[in-house]
Amino acid sequence: MSNRYTATHTSLRTAGIMVVFTLAFTAMMSQTYRVTRPAIEASEQEQKMRLINDVLPPGSYDNTLLEDFVAAGPTPALGLDRGGRIYRARRAGVPAALVFEAVAPDGYGGKIQLVVAVGADGRLGGVRVTAHKETPGLGDYIDPRKDRNKTRPWIGQFVGMSLADVAPAQWKVKRDGGIFAYRIGATISARAVTNATGRVLEYAAEHRDALFAASTGSAI
């Protein structure tokens, strides 16, 4: 009986120590998160702005871009299964551009995440890949940081283009009957980004006025 009592007492004591340790550790991690969260969020915002600045010159708008957005729900035209954000750039209150989060769902390695800027005049400000799993040294030239041609990166060919210049049916790589270049041996990656960019342009043309008129932060 004594041995049984001692074993039970020891087990309870050990369990109690573990509970106290767990609670203390949880509290410590929670406090750490609260302290570091502002820095993490600031870093994320900075990184997002760097990407946006690549497709939209900072001098082309004067509003606080990341605070002026609409929340898109699942939107097949933009490749968004779970939704995303569409940012509105304005200058002196006048619409300047829309910046879309978009996804090309059919890359060689899976989904290719994009940020695409479309000016109020319907012309592309630029396209950037934000995440992908394309083959290193082959299909990853869709990302200008990986493109070996630093003078004329592949993705730069979209800048300034619009549906007025290129009909929707022509937003394809040349191999598929369109007008856009691609690199031999990595057609799928280029095809996915080109097709997705064309779809974003069509969506922007159709919904431009409604997107700029929507309340900040509202869902569409």
What does the pLDDT look like over 167-216, one tens digit per residue?
999 999 999 999 999 999 999 999 999 999 999 999 999 999 999 999 99
95: left (phi over 0), alpha (psi -120 to 50) or beta: beta
Which residues contact residue 203 at a Cβ distance below 8 angstroms, ignoring those fewer than 6 apart?
A: 75, 77, 78, 100
Residue 41 tokens read as: 């969020």
Average pLDDT over residues 65-74: 96
**Alpha-carbon Rg of the chain, whole angstroms?**
24
Rounded Cα–Cα distance for residues 143 and 134 (Å): 10
Q: Between residues 164 and 21, which one has the greater pLDDT?
A: 164
Residue 116 banded pLDDT, cuts 50, 70, 90: very high
- Entry pTM: 0.80
Give SS3 for 109: coil
Closest CA to 192 of 135, 110, 115: 110
Closest CA to 170 of 159, 188, 158: 158
Rounded Cα–Cα distance for residues 40 and 198 (Å): 34
- Strand 124-131 relative to strand 110-119: parallel, antiparallel, unpaired? antiparallel
The helix (run of H) or strand (run of E) holding residue 189 is helix 187-213
Instruction: Judge whether residue 155 has pLDDT over 70.
Output: yes
Instruction: Judge whether residue 71 has pLDDT over 70.
Output: yes
Average pLDDT over residues 111-118: 97
Name the least confident of 41-50, 102-111, 138-147, 170-179: 41-50
Share of the chain above pLDDT 90, in %: 75
Q: pLDDT tens, 121-132?
A: 999 999 999 999
Give, rounded to a whole angstrom, the gap between the first and last alpha carbons of the chain: 70
Average pLDDT over residues 67-81: 97
Residue 40 tokens read as: 């993490």
Residue 129 tokens read as: 């890949």
Contacts for 84-92 with beta carbons within 8 Å, 24 or more apart? 86/211, 86/220, 87/52, 88/63, 88/211, 88/212, 89/56, 89/60, 89/61, 89/63, 89/65, 89/117, 90/61, 90/62, 90/63, 91/60, 91/61, 91/62, 91/63, 92/62
Q: Between residues 135 and 34, which one has the greater pLDDT?
A: 135
Q: What is the mean pLDDT of the chain?
A: 88
Instruction: Tell me what pLDDT residue 41 has.
Output: 46
What is the dihedral sign for C-alpha 56, 100, 109, 172? negative
- What is the greatest pairwise CA distance in the chain? 91
